[in-house]
A and B are shown apart, each in its own frame.
Chain A
């Protein structure tokens, strides 16, 4: 009998752990490198950029590229910077997110609780829809919108984003709702709730985590979208991504790399911001389905 436990004391820093840290660090550096280059390039003037020391810190900080990218850079023949694109993107994103998330929540609720005839078939269709590439549907959708007279309009692009967002969001909501105890729904039906009332008073108050996940997915997805914005938004409603492309792809004059970098960072700020404030919720929402309440 000895007071000292047998066997070696467990080590906190093992070789495996060191290896893991090295790997994580390398990955972080790999992904941070472009961001570093973007930020320092946006803070250099053109003379310094032409000197071609891409990794060097700027000798003199110059901030002129940022306001220029925001309000003066030329996209095609118009020289108003990214500002109109930013507001267009907001005008597209906000309604698209609200409509698609709202409708998907109702769909998911109906699929999970009101097992109507053909619910499984519909569920299968959603699964299928979630995995069809956009490109396949662009042309038919364009013809449909043209026939409806909403092609190249704000409602047109909002409709497109809503349609493309709904299959995957419906799946997410449906899976979340099936993880809720079915007895709650039964109790609500006995208590006199109908389809709408149960949804409003019982289901929505419990939907916060999954709604946050859905909103994050949709905001970043729609904000980052380029193809649909280019095809469906029309000249007056071009989202920020399309304008960014126009700024970067110059056919004449000088390519102002510092302005390009500033414009790119500005465009990606919204999704970045969304991830930073909501990362915690995102993880919680994804995990929410796994835990019984």
Chain B
């Protein structure tokens, strides 16, 4: 597939602090790319670099086979939506939408046409004459998205657009952004620290930490086969359970304290070495309560009913373990349960390199 945006070996520093280090990223045409990571990981900086709002220390940025590294933001054919909406407070919604077009001396009839189209798409027709201060947060963000739409951008950039909204609105707008991408099929680059947004929206996610991309893959792959410990811990809520263990290769087992876990079904078992120190990771939904020859007996320590499902907390050899069960399941404190792990859905990491094995 054709690449739409290519980030080639870019570096960016603020004074002496290096924020992005030799980072490369190819984004395909029509792809919804999410940059995900904790605050301070450089995701917003990367987005600003693509937008041309920050000058790179090194490297190149290409948009549609055009080296835009030194181009002004306005000449990059991008639209951007900000977390703080960034609507011009002195202008009406209509003027906000048309500002970019007016700056480019677009004829009036074309401006009106484009505003109509964007307003219909986002259902903001009734708001056109209002000032931003007269709009609610959700309406403001719709207008901000509209402002990016009217520019006929080749690439849309979103900088945590939903972070200032309450939970209900966030879900609503998330749905609409996804629909927008379905209908327009433009390339979109979306920065967020919210993994739910990342999982639901993305074609591919790039998980970032300390200015480096940790893993670049589809949401499914990232969730099921995290490349390293950081990604495994960052994605998923409640997060993945980790158990420190050492490998007993001849018996195809790992040893956690005094307990043995059979890993003969693990996909990459051949890459494990005997006595290797590892971290065994298993998601809460991949733990079953059933008694078999491999199950471990433990006690219920806490129960968190969440409606659709119930979270049961227990521990194995002092390591807290959460188990996601059906909402209808009924457990009490100190109940004895037998748990067993879905080994083919687990992940095993080398405890030194923290990479998945």
Contacts and interface: CB of A to CB of B under 8 A. Distances in A.
Interface of A: 181, 183-184, 186-194, 197, 201-202, 205-206, 293
Contacts, number: 63
15 contacts: A183-B83, A186-B51, A187-B80, A187-B82, A189-B52, A189-B73, A189-B74, A190-B79, A190-B80, A191-B147, A193-B74, A194-B72, A201-B99, A202-B88, A293-B89
Q: Is the interface of B mostly helix, strand, loop or mixed?
A: loop
- Main SS at interface, chain A: helix
Given A183-B82, A187-B82, A192 B53 contact: no
Contacts of B147: 187, 191
Contact of A186 (B53, B99, B100): B53
Contacts of B48: 186
A189 B86 contact: no
Contacts of B87: 187
Contact of A189 (B53, B83, B104): B53
B86 A187 contact: yes
A184 B74 contact: no
Interface in B56-114: 72-74, 78-80, 82-91, 99-100, 103-104
Contacts of B209: none
Contacts of B52: 189
A183 B86 CA distance: 5
Given A192-B100, A205-B90, A181 B84 contact: yes
Contacts of B80: 186-187, 190
Contacts of B159: 183
Given A181-B84, A183-B83, A190 B100 contact: yes
Contact of B72 (A189, A202, A205): A189
Contact of B86 (A186, A192, A193): A186
Contacts of A183: 82-86, 159
B79 to A, nearest CB: 7
A252 B78 CA distance: 78
Given A189-B73, A190-B74, 10 more contacts: A181-B84, A186-B53, A187-B82, A187-B87, A187-B88, A188-B88, A189-B53, A193-B103, A197-B103, A202-B88
Contacts of B89: 205-206, 293
B43 interface: no
Nearest to B148: A190
Contact of A191 (B74, B83, B84): B74
